Amino acid sequence: MTVIDIAVAMRHLKMDPDDDSTEVLSKLEDAEDIAMTYMGRRIYATPDLLAAGVLNGDAGDDPIVIKPGIRAAILLILGRLNSHREDVVVGVSATELPQGAETLLRPHRVDMGV
């Protein structure tokens, strides 16, 4: 389950709502994972889901409920993953965080990431 609704991701990528969302969902999961790895913390969609994660022992250290800046960063990462399907495109690595995403995530980072 993703913290950003697939419909939001589809609109961000300017895709038709009737298009198959399977590939977008996979990239959205990857984008969220990249953001969580960079920040060194799990992201939850709501306070209730965060509380459930803590009770289940899934939350890890310093979990966070998604904030607008984190949402924006994930969508920037999603856009990068969608537009650069290969590992390297003319000197730009798809695995590097877009500069704007890094700037948005940095205030929420708790360690140096993985």
In the chain, % of residues over pLDDT 90:
72
Q: Are 114 and 37 in contact (CB under 8 A)?
A: yes
Q: What is the mean pLDDT of residues 77-100?
A: 71
Give the pLDDT of residue 85: 67
Continuous H helices in 46-108: 47-56, 68-83, 99-105
Residue 13 is inside which H or E element, if any? none
Q: What is the mean pLDDT of residues 29-54?
A: 95
Domain boundaries, the chain: 6-108
What is the pTM assigned to this prediction?
0.86
Rg (CA), the chain: 14
Q: Is the pLDDT of residue 25 over 60?
A: yes
Residue with the larger pLDDT of the pair 91 and 110:
110
Continuous H helices in 1-114: 6-12, 22-39, 47-56, 68-83, 99-105
